[in-house]
Amino acid sequence: MNSRQRNVLIRIIVAVAVFLYIAWIAYKELPSFDFKVITVFFAMYLLWTVVAEILIYKDPDSYVIEDDDRRSYIYVQFSFLIALFYAAIDFVELNWTRIKAFEPVIIYFGFALFIVSCLIRWWGFNSLGKYFNPRVAIYENHVLITEGAYKKIRHPLYLGTFISVLSFPLIFNSWGALFLILFLHLPALIYRIEVEEKLLLKYFGDEYRDYMQMTKRMIPGIW
């Protein structure tokens, strides 16, 4: 186990400890259905973290030679956490934008959407391999990936991320969280894509321009 995997394992252990504490409090305070929704969501989220960070992620075998993130990673993560936090709080306590008439169908659909997002991200991780980096970066001898999940769209991982985030307001039946996603997280994700494409154009030039002509950003045939 390398240092990155060890750090991930420590984060997972801490997250599980925090979750168990929250689950204990929730068990005493929440209705049975709400408690089950919270429990299943965090269990699936932690499972995906283990699968993505330990089983799927491949450590790079070369050094980063250029990093031009422009705080896009922070913006995406910050907007994601705001939406998730509001959705969870709205579900268990506030109930400001929770429409119980939609339950439980909307919640089941949200869980299904989360599973779809994990499959898309798994495909994207495997296609990108050792070139994945949470920051916008270029490695030594970097190769442009145009097969697998990247054959028709240029950003399958961002598509999977957006579908995952979009599942949160459905799982927690929080329409206020959906508003935050559309007007806070989506612009951050689009900014991230623009930053990444500028760097790829700078590094790959005509090769990336040709690839852009043959593909869409996230939705095949549309955008």
- The CATH number given to whatever domain includes residue 174 is 1.20.120.1630
Structural domain total, the chain: 2
Tokens standing for 147? 């097969």
From 20, 39, 60, the end of a domain falls on: 60
Q: Do 23 and 80 fall within a single domain? A: no
Q: Do 114 and 164 fall within a single domain? A: yes
Supply the DSSP string of 87-149, one letter for each residue.
HHHIIIII-SS--GGGTTHHHHHHHHHHHHHHHHHHHHHHHHGGG--SS-EEETT-----SGG
DSSP H stretches of helix in the chain: 3-29, 32-50, 72-89, 105-128, 156-171, 175-180, 186-204, 206-214
Q: Do 47 and 78 fall within a single domain? A: no
Task: Name residue 66's beta-bridge partners.
Answer: 138
Q: Do 67 and 53 fall within a single domain? A: no
Q: Do 88 and 136 fall within a single domain? A: yes
Q: For residues 128 and 150, is the Cβ–Cβ distance under 8 A?
A: yes
Given a cut of 80, is residue 19 above it in pLDDT? no
pLDDT number for residue 4: 59
Q: Do 70 and 53 fall within a single domain? A: no
pTM of the model: 0.90
Domain hosting 214: range is: 61-223
**pLDDT per position as a tens digit, 163-194:** 999 999 999 999 999 999 999 999 999 999 99
pLDDT number for residue 223: 93
Given a cut of 80, is residue 2 above it in pLDDT? no
Q: Do 199 and 128 fall within a single domain? A: yes
- Please give the mean pLDDT across all residues of the chain: 89
Given a cut of 80, is residue 21 above it in pLDDT? no
Measured between alpha carbons, how far is 59 from 28 in angstroms, rounded to an integer? 42
Residue with more model confidence, 87 or 6: 87
Residue with tokens 């090769």: 207
Measured between alpha carbons, how far is 156 from 174 in angstroms, rounded to an integer? 26
Q: Do 108 and 79 fall within a single domain? A: yes
From 30, 45, 60, the end of a domain falls on: 60
Measured between alpha carbons, how far is 159 from 218 in angstroms, rounded to an integer? 6
Given a cut of 70, is residue 8 above it in pLDDT? no
Burial class (CB in 10 A: 0-12, 13-18, 19+), 147: exposed
Task: Name residue 67's beta-bridge partners.
Answer: 137
From 16, 33, 60, the end of a domain falls on: 60
Between 105-128 and 32-50, two packed helices, what is the crossing angle to 10 degrees?
0
Measured between alpha carbons, how far is 41 from 118 in angstroms, rounded to an integer? 13
Total residue count of the chain as it appears in this document: 223
